[in-house]
Amino acid sequence: MVSGATSGIGAVTARELARLGATVIILGRDRRKCARQVESIGRETGSRVEALVADLSSQRQIRQLAECFHSNFPRLDVLVNNAAAYFMRRKLTVDGLEMTLAVNHLAPFLLTSLLLDRLQASSSARVVNVSSNAHTKGRIDFEDLHCQRRYDRLEAYSNSKLANLLFTYELARRLKGSGVTVNAVNPGSAATNLGSDNGWVRGWARVKLRNLLKRHLIRPEEGAKTSIYLATSPEVEGVTGRHFFQCKEVPSSAASYERATAERLWRTSEELTELRPSSGRVALLTPPNVSSA
């Protein structure tokens, strides 16, 4: 399963996994784009490709997506949390949450949690979280997670990418010995559609800037390589709780290894996604037993 798979790095990741013979589930919010990707990837690779349509800013739609997957598939071998967004102005989701936090962190947190039983039903499942080098500028301000005091688009994005790392390392600790590995990726600065949800004027400016910087940006095919490597390579079998760039393990920022921050972010994320009511204590994920098919 690959989120954000209708364009850019996500589309390349989905296509290459299908080319390797995997059954691929692409996630996107635009039904027509999803249909085109299913047809295109299926025709090109000959593999089974399906789509699940959901707006990942809506927790109700994420839950519906997970329910649909549960109804149709007994296990999940690879989950690539690739979808991300960059918002020029502060927005709120239908759940009343700041949009960057909701799409970039809470969505993969909730989706992964809801699919954990299917991941554990696989003999050796892999979770790949796509972060960014922007995480090095991030900080988690628990007193202003929703940027009510001040919204800076780059700060909000950087904070969400740091949250991806904290989530990756904490989930890896909680799943140690389960057979499920969890790793994070810095894909590099790729020419993608990130930031395309900000109106046509800003979208035009983004494209012009991207064209000016094109020689400094990598192609989506390059940006997807590390995600594909972590999803498939025998070299990283059993490797978990690590951060990769250009298919090599590299350290992330000092802030990303702060365990107390990761644990607090986990509790807060559970509360914001209503996975668990506020309890003031850390609890391990304990998914229900699933009969294998």
Per the listing, tokens 């790095």 go with 9
Q: Judge contact between 27 and 54, C-beta under 8 A.
A: yes
Active site residues: 157
Q: Report the candidate in 54, 2, 11 with the shortest Cα–Cα distance to residue 221.
A: 11
First and final CA of the chain: distance in angstroms? 18
Rounded CA separation 111/109 (Å): 6
- Residue 179: half-sphere exposure toward Cβ, Cα within 13 Å: 12
The helix/strand/coil state of 2 is strand
Q: Judge contact between 80 and 119, C-beta under 8 A.
A: no
- Cα distances from 35 to residues 38, 39, 41, 42, 78, in angstroms, run 5, 6, 10, 11, 21
Spatial neighbors of 114 by CB under 8 A, at least 6 apart, are: 62, 63, 66
Residues facing 26 on adjacent strands: 2, 51
